[in-house]
Structure 1
Amino acid sequence: MSEAHSALSIATAGEGAVPGRRHEIAVKVLTVLLALFLGAASGLPKLFRAEAAVEAFDKIGWGDWFMYAVGSLEVLGALALLVPILSGAAALAFIGLMIGATVFNLTVLDAPQAVLTTAILTVVLGYIAWSRRTHTTQLLRRLRP
């Protein structure tokens, strides 16, 4: 009986490990893709004054400093997504940024179609933040005096 029980335990543990491993791979792939998108496709155009970014931030009317601030936050946040202990906190910060982007898209930029993009990004960021919640807890513990 004990040999059969041990064999069953090993088989069950092996089956349980596969979804955990798949989940971890999925989170890592999503994190890298999101970091590339948010850093390179969204943040860098703001820092390099791409025409579309300049036009959008001119409509907002808060000056170039705001475009550079958002671009800097996106690039730094993208890098933080790639650092395991920072990834959950970075995802949470990006959710805040996506909420702000949604508000601006709806009220100032009159771009309701862009809300779908921010909504999708927010869902993926939420998944990353949830998956990295233990890292966020570790980070908070390190920051406590």
Structure 2
Amino acid sequence: MRLYDVAPQPGSNRRRRRVGRGIAAGQGASCGFGMRGQKSRSGRPTRPGFEGGQTPLYRRLPKLKYFPLVNPKNFTVINVGKLSTLAANFEVTLESLIESGILTADDGPLKILGGGELTIPLSVKAAAFTASARAKIEAVKGTCEVLDG
């Protein structure tokens, strides 16, 4: 098979409509575009969003800088500085922090932030860690374990 052998299926290509060739041709004079008006002129299709001179919708709406996320990830956050009041080698989870009174609400999975200083080794199990929090926990011989959630 060669490129010159390729042809469209019989009947799939229709011939081009030849307009403006007289009344007998079926599309004479105004060529099926009506008598007068913007839609009968040459160069006719208006650009997308054009509303006939009225200020278009995309210019009437305010342009906002920030749009809300559809499915935001909500975390219960705590800084490593708050964990320094715990005992050494304490296993830090969301449940244990609520029991010990350091956290008062469960706003989602636990995320550890890097604010403050940590001096004792802890075993921390959380859904997410910032890079600085992970570095501070591991610098004092603590462990970081990422949980699903």
* Same fold, judged at TM 0.5 (above): no
Q: Which has the higher helix share?
A: 1
Higher relative contact order (CA 8 A, sep 6+): 1
Query: Which protein is bigger by CA-based radius of gyration?
Result: 2
Which structure is higher in strand share? 2
Q: Structure 1-normalised TM-score?
A: 0.21
Q: Structure 2-normalised TM-score? A: 0.21
